[in-house]
Amino acid sequence: MAGASETWEENTDLLPRVAWARRSTRMLAVGVFIAAAIAAATYAVPPSRLDDPRAAEVLRTQAAGLATALDTTAKTAHDRSDQIASDNTLRAAILTDARTVADLVASNEWRLQPLTGETMELFQLDGDQVTSLVRTPAGAAPIRWMRGAGTRLENVGDSMHVVVTAGVERLKDGLGYKPTISGSLAVSDPIDLRAVRAQLASVAVSASIEGAGKTPLVVLPAAQGQAAGTPVRATIHPNPEWFGDLMLLVTPRTTLARPSWVGAVRIASAALALVLVAAALVRWRAASPRR
């Protein structure tokens, strides 16, 4: 009798635990279904157009690079113009006329030798009258004369040029030389934008620089048929001794993508479903009758 009593007590104590294990297994199964449904539902979230996330960083990098290029080009142009303006032949040439200077250049006795892409122009000043004596290369666009020794930016076609001027002191004074004549040498150097264009083209559909001239300089023409994002700007900070700040304006490319939270929810729901499956298996084994 004592053994039967003990068996009966064990069975009556086991029944509630088995019932609870089975009930909790069903609850876990429902949880698995819900978690799996949520993970599956994330695939139904429609993608939207998002700006290229690389655009902001590329924009900042190129703006900083342009500021360095402007400073380097301006310094080089000033050093060259000051050195050339002190040449005695140049100082004598400003006392003559355009035809004489042209003959002098043609004779190869004296040459203004510009760097690749560079333009030089020598001006004769007589009071308010400004005369261009020579420009080299001859087919280059004229340089707008600027009073004194200075620095400015100009848009020339699809490129940006740093223009500097240096005063040219007359070599001689005295009888036969008009005392009001002096000279000015202008040097125009382009900023190489090829690398900038290549970098911006990878993340943007259009780009321009504001502040380099009367109208914005188009760095990257607007790409036709491509979706454009929200324009972003970065300030170009060159040396204030030579230039004011400029603005690099970029319209980034867009890509079709789902919001970032979708992936996180999908992974979390799938992970939760797996955990619940494992827990349900443990509960199911606990609810199974022992033999």
Question: pLDDT digit string (tens) for 14-55?
Answer: 555 556 566 676 776 777 778 788 878 877 777 777 788 899
Question: pTM of the full predicted structure?
Answer: 0.70
What contacts 24+ positions apart, CB below 8 Å, involve 216-223? 216/249, 217/155, 217/158, 217/159, 217/160, 218/158, 219/193, 219/248, 220/250, 222/251
Residue 175, pLDDT score: 61
Question: pLDDT digit string (tens) for 193-248?
Answer: 999 999 999 999 999 999 887 889 999 898 777 777 889 999 999 999 989 999 99
Above 70 in pLDDT, residue 56?
yes
Return the ∠ at Cα 34 (arms to 285 and 269), rounded to 5°.
Answer: 95
